[in-house]
Structure 1
């Protein structure tokens, strides 16, 4: 690039030579040539210096517009150690003293362990297999014979007769009288009443355990309508150490009442000796 001061000196020199020249060329051609030269120098001197393209300069290439933008460089942030956040403390309410419900405590159960022969066409056949088939009769028993029930299959009892010479085999359940010897049951009083009556029967030895839920402040009344008075135990007496009525086992009819001091399940139990019996009692809650 020609410096501006050098260009001026060159221009002065050209002009001086122009006026002092003694050539024989026509003056018109010389004037045109000088003007062309002068114009080219002026254009060169006055042309702005093109700066280098900036980062965002827009140029046109073959009719297409291009933008020289800086290339974005994707960087991965440095891994930070995980922040451990302490779990929020949730207040826990203390457990409430609520009466035990049927869903989490007492389930109704029934187990038959004894039966009495009651055949409309005695004597009753005792068979080696639980079916009616020729050749499988191994003995016979009379009505009112008590049988120890050891199993049940397809409406047949696997039994053993009692006595010095026991007989073991199968007897049709349909020709016997039987019931729950071991029984647990929850008592539920209907919503439209404040009392309920329970009736059942023991055949031979057994134990029936009833449970009823009562709230503190309520009054419970148990009345033995027939059979012995049941044994009653408080909700807190899980080992059956203290019978509340002091009348358990006494022959009815007997009635007993008490105010509930502790909410929970109260037990009403009946026991049977070998002979068995029928019973009925009523429970009232107010």
Structure 2
């Protein structure tokens, strides 16, 4: 009975071992060698150096700022003087072959038209100018050669404009005989005008006439300079007058 029980337990152990061995020897399933679906190729690894990074110079302490272009500056220019009217009213005889012949017609091809003669220094009234000849009036009326006289504009009107950056201008001229010289400036109300005389006659200043016709200098025979504030905007006229033999004058105009 004891032997039979031991034998039965041995057979049971062998049976269990056989079952375990059978399970471990079962072949595992293998994947198919080929697949109908294409397997995508893996992307190549991206190298860190394949896309270089450019360093911005925005915060670079060594970078220099772009210089700004120079601002253009107004270049100073000279003033302009434009003679708007010039009429010879008188002339003084100045003939190197004095006396000067007075002719009945403006022709020098014959002596038959000579009606008189004038000495150097004689003042004559000019009535007309034609092809280099003056028609004169007086005791011996007729025609005289223009190039044998000393003459200037008797009636003159001149427009004066300051240049850019300019606030003063000097004016020189002279009269031969009588007449009027007018200098016109377009100026603004509130500006200050200063006149300074440099005439050989000493304290000689032009009359200052406002756009409305008012005289701004009461007495022209005064100290050689005058300063005044302009009362209105428009054309101001600086005017010299000559009664007979004429004179030279020089003066400076400054406007601020």
TM-score (norm 2): 0.63
Matching residue of 2:97? 121
- The answer (yes or no) to whether the contact 1:229–1:247 under 8 Å persists in 2 is no
Query: Which of 108, 111, 131 is equivalent to 1:132?
Result: 108
Provide the C-alpha distance between the structure 2 equivalents of 1:245 and 1:208, rounded to a whole number of angstroms: 17
Return the offset for 1:107.
7.4
- The answer (yes or no) to whether the contact 2:83–2:156 under 8 Å persists in 1 is no
Matching residue of 2:236? 266
Unmatched segments (≥5 aa) in structure 1: 1-105
| Structure 1 runs (4+) greater than 3 angstroms displaced | none
- The answer (yes or no) to whether the contact 1:190–1:196 under 8 Å persists in 2 is no
Q: Determine if the alignment matches structure 1 residue 246 to structure 2 residue 233.
A: no
Residues paired across the two proteins, number: 171
Where in structure 2 are the equivalents of 1:178-257 lying within 5 Å? 178-226=151-199, 227=201, 228-236=204-212, 238=213, 242-248=214-220, 250=221, 254-257=224-227
Query: Which of 236, 244, 249 is equivalent to 1:279?
Result: 249
Structure 1 residues 58-117: Cα deviation after superposition (integer angstroms, max 9, x where no partner): xxxxxxxxxxxxxxxxxxxxxxxxxxxxxxxxxxxxxxxxxxxxxxxx971111111000
Structure 1 residues 232-277: Cα deviation after superposition (integer angstroms, max 9, x where no partner): 12222x2xxx4212232x27x7111122232111111111111211
Where in structure 2 are the equivalents of 1:2-151 lying within 5 Å? 108-134=84-110, 135-151=112-128
TM-score (norm 1): 0.56
- The answer (yes or no) to whether the contact 2:88–2:153 under 8 Å persists in 1 is yes
Unmatched segments (≥5 aa) in structure 2: 1-81
Instruction: Select between 263-272 and 187-196 the one with higher mean Cα deviation.
Output: 187-196
Alignment RMSD (CA, Å): 1.8
**Greater length-normalized contact order (CA 8 Å, ≥ 6 residues apart):** 2
